[in-house]
Amino acid sequence: MTKKNENMTPDDYRDSLLDAIMTHVAFDGWSDKAMKQAAEDIGIDPGIVDLAFPDGAMGMLDLCAQRCDLAMLEIIKDAEFHDQKIREKITALVRARIEIETPHKEAANRAAPFVALPQNHYRALKILYRTVDLMWKAIGDQSTDFNYYTKRMTLSAVYSSTFLYWLNDESEDHQQTWEFLDRRIENVMQFEKFKFQNKDKLPDLAKVWRKLGEKRYGS
């Protein structure tokens, strides 16, 4: 139970509520019911939940994703990480990000259909973008224009497809998931090779958007 203090604000309970909800989402999903039960577990008024997470369970899921993203970045503190090739670094980051959720795999399983709901779709895309953007920045990526966008789009596809595969993987140590990840990374490397070979033929997205703006607004 969280130690209460009259000087604490609703935001001060966010982390404790997130910890507490994990034992309930396996049964009740990411729902208001699970959030209220989490409040009871840490001994606070259920009304505080609405103040701590005014956007409901989606806000709590967002906090969970942020926490996992930060834990993922711990991998870059390993000296050996920086000696690896880009392919190996990206593979390590994707794997680390997924393995962080292993202790709460059932909670992750219940999150998948929840974030797929129409009202949660846009927020889920923002969370996904934040994760893959951090991955590229973690390896020092400084790409701009076309490369900036395509790298994040392709990695979003790799990460999300691998995550969904992992959710249903019952192989020992999720070995089949990591083999699946290797195949997806190989697809990315082939795409990057194609981009390099055809770099003079690919569009400058910044220029495209500028032209569209001029055409639309007459600037």
Tens digits of residue pLDDT in 46-102: 999 999 999 999 999 999 999 999 999 999 998 889 899 999 999 999 999 999 999
**Sign of torsion, CA 15 54 48 29?**
negative
Please name the residues in contact with 10: beta carbons below 8 A apart, sequence gap of 6 or more.
48, 51, 52
Tens digits of residue pLDDT in 143-164: 877 788 888 999 999 999 999 9
pLDDT value of position 170: 96
**pLDDT at residue 190 above 80?**
no
Rounded Cα distance, 117 and 120, in Å = 5
Please name the residues in contact with 152: beta carbons below 8 A apart, sequence gap of 6 or more.
129, 132, 133, 136
Rounded Cα distance, 21 and 77, in Å = 30
pTM (two decimals): 0.83
Domains and CATH numbers, the chain: 55-202 (1.10.357.10)
| Rounded average pLDDT over 183-207 | 64
Rounded Cα distance, 115 and 35, in Å = 16
Rounded Cα distance, 82 and 84, in Å = 5
pLDDT value of position 148: 86
